[in-house]
Structure 1
Amino acid sequence: MGAGPRTIVLVGATSGLGRQAAVRLAADGHRLILAGRDPRRVRDLARELPRAHVIGADVATAAGVDELARQVSAATDRIDTLVNNAGVMRPTRTVTAEGHELNLAVHHLAPFSTTSRVLPLLRRGEGRIVNVNSEGHRSPMRGSGEVALDFDDLDSERGYDPFMAYSRSKLANLLFSYELQARHPELTVVAVHPGLVRTRLGRDFPSLQVRLVHAFALSARRGAEPVVRLATGTVSAGRYYNRFAPVPSSPRSRDTAAARRLWAVTEEVRGPFTQVGSR
């Protein structure tokens, strides 16, 4: 595809860097399908960007992903870029209606299921997936210890540390990104750390903690810049980007055996991704 307008689905578009990315992409003339969880913010975004197709769906559950896929399929017959940007961070352990820990549900299960459900549309378009990730996949934002998946406790039932749970879910997302590229070379899959960004992500944490983080963080507008670039510009397939530059991710994230195991476990939870083109 050339440099003309793209059809872009952006999940997690109603606040923070997702909203800023949507505004920029709209100004650049792209055809947008924007998704968010909060009904009020969905309405506000629809008023702000009247040419975009804005939909409400909570991708934390399989039912929410089904609703998202239904509405996207009704709005377009192709997707050039899918941006999986929905994010969450909670100080106490929270589970979805399906019983999954919320970080895992939003940062891993949702991108896996969303990409699976819209795969036919991606194949009709350029087929690019941008997974918004974090340098937190290497080490937690607070505390210490290696970030590694515990396959016996993916839902953090045996002790919950919000920073480690977040980091593990971002590691899971990165393992999925690499495995998706390996299984489906017809797609172009990238993951990106947009930088430490001032968003609503930590709104449930004590205000002092949030203020300290925000003192060193980028604005949401600047955080959106690499997401926009990777959604529309030239990228290297199967790479992890720290803002605009591809960089090596952690050794744990490149563990192919762990990636295959996580894929299998995720299919047990959410059903087969697809057998077409898989190795």
Structure 2
Amino acid sequence: MNVGTRTIVLIGATSGLGREAARRLTADGHRMILVGRSSRRAKDLAAELPQAHVISADIATADGVDAVARQVAEVTDRIDVLVNNAGVMRPAREVTAEGFELNFAVHHLAPYSTTSRLLPLLRRGQGRVVNVNSEGHRAPMRGGDRVVLDFDNLQSERGYDPFMVYSRTKLANLLFTYQLHERCPELTVVALHPGFVRTRLGREFPTVQVRLVHALALSARRGAEPVVRLAIGSVQAGAYYNRFTPVVSSHDSYDVPAAQRLWSVTEQMRGPFAV
């Protein structure tokens, strides 16, 4: 393995900016382990990037995370970089097989569980974790209310608003990121807003809304650029990046009691973090 070559696990690699990042990092010679939910897109990606190891699994569930962890451990004994990139947005409330709201499961539970299960391999490697987040953690994309976690309605059973739920679950991801940085100082943990990127995220919303969003958004190729940079370049541990620049995230993202409470609640849902 070349000195500059890293072993990188990229979650959410089969479409959008994740796929573009996978292409770039593979072309640069890194050892890539790529994870996506769709078996069809995973098969297509494996054909496109035969030098990469591609895994099809649903990381929204604990069983799916376990399957990923087992398969990753079969092909490597170390991880230098873990990129938690999977994202979702649904116009109507959906739940996973475990009964958790889908945004919450994908944006928060999945990074928590995946990082926990892969922690031993991260500790043997360079131990960098990049959580792909969003400026949406500050306010819903439609505008309006301040974004805070509602611990009495974490599963959005009441008053489901897709834009607010997306924002709250991205805030949860950022609270997790900062807690992970504090609890596992041996890791290099960062969060990233890659830009307002044209992806498949809102494909189930009305066509007019999707076309308007796409007209204003960055291409997946441009959205992948900061993901690649933060995966392999110099970074400020514990920082939140707006594309290539560390910035201050929302006031509520630094709420330590809320972050600690969320960590405790998450452990009740998914078990203790493997510290």
Do they superpose with TM above 0.5? yes
- 1:90-239 maps to which residues of 2 (within 5 A)? 90-239=90-239
Tell me, what secondary structure is at the counterpart of 1:141? Answer: coil
**Deviation at residue 143 of structure 1 after TM alignment:** 3.7
SS in 1 for 2:228: helix
Taking structure 2 as the reference length, what is the TM-score of the superposition? 0.99
Q: Secondary structure at the match of 2:8?
A: strand
Measured against aligned partners, the alpha-carbon deviations of 1:123-162 in whole angstroms (never above 9, x if no partner) come to 0000000000000000000141010000011000011000
Partners in 2 of 1:3 and 1:86 — Cα distance?
A: 29
> Which runs of structure 2 are paired with 1:18-57 in the superposition (5 Å)?
18-57=18-57
Q: What is the alpha-carbon distance in structure 1 between the residues aligned to residue 3 and residue 135 of structure 2?
A: 30
Query: In the alignment, which residue of structure 2 is the partner of 1:249?
Result: 249
Provide the alpha-carbon RMSD of the alignment. Answer: 0.8
Task: Say whether 1:69 aligns with 2:36.
Answer: no
Q: Tell me which amino acid in the other structure corresponds to 1:218.
A: L
Unaligned regions of 5+ residues in structure 2, if any? none
1:56-101: CA deviation from partner (whole Å, max 9, x where unpaired): 1100100100001111111100000000000100000000011110
Q: Give secondary structure in 1 for the equivalent of 2:68.
A: helix
Partner Cα separation in structure 2 for residue 95 and residue 55 of structure 1: 23
State how far apart, in whole Å, the 1-side matches of 2:158 and 2:216 are.
32
Q: Secondary structure at the match of 1:118?
A: helix
- Summarize deviations over 1:216-235 as a string: whole Å, max 9, x none: 10000000000000000000
Q: Distance in 2 between matches of 1:71 and 1:135?
A: 33
Q: Report the 3-state secondary structure (helix = DSSP H, G, I; strand = E; otherwise coil) of the residue aligned with 1:182.
A: helix
Whole-Å separation in 1 of the counterparts to 2:223 and 2:67: 28
Aligned to 2:15: 15
Q: State the identity %.
A: 75
Query: 2 CA distance for matches of 1:149 and 1:208?
Result: 30
Q: Distance in 1 between matches of 2:83 and 2:45?
A: 17
Which secondary structure state, in structure 2, belongs to the residue aligned with residue 202 of structure 1?
coil
Aligned amino acid, residue 210 of structure 1: V
Task: Please report the TM-score for the alignment, with normalisation by the length of structure 1.
Answer: 0.97
Determine the C-alpha separation between the residues in 1 that align with 2:71 and 2:208: 40
* Corresponding residue number in structure 2 for 1:4: 4
The letter for the 2-side match of 1:68 is V
- What is residue 83 of structure 2 aligned with on the other side? 83
Aligned length: 274
Gap runs ≥5 in structure 1: none
Give the counterpart letter for 1:28 in structure 2.
Answer: D
Task: Note the C-alpha offset of 1:3.
Answer: 6.1
Distance in 2, matches of 1:226 and 1:24, equals 11
* Distance of 1:87 and 1:3 partners within structure 2: 32
SS of 2:87 mapped into structure 1? coil
Structure 1 Cα separation of the partners of residues 200 and 260 of structure 2: 33
Output the amino acid matched with 1:183: R
Q: What is the rounded CA distance, in whole Å, between the counterparts of 1:225 and 1:33 in structure 2?
A: 19
Question: 1:225–1:262: structure 2 CA closer, same or farther, 3 Å change rule?
Answer: same
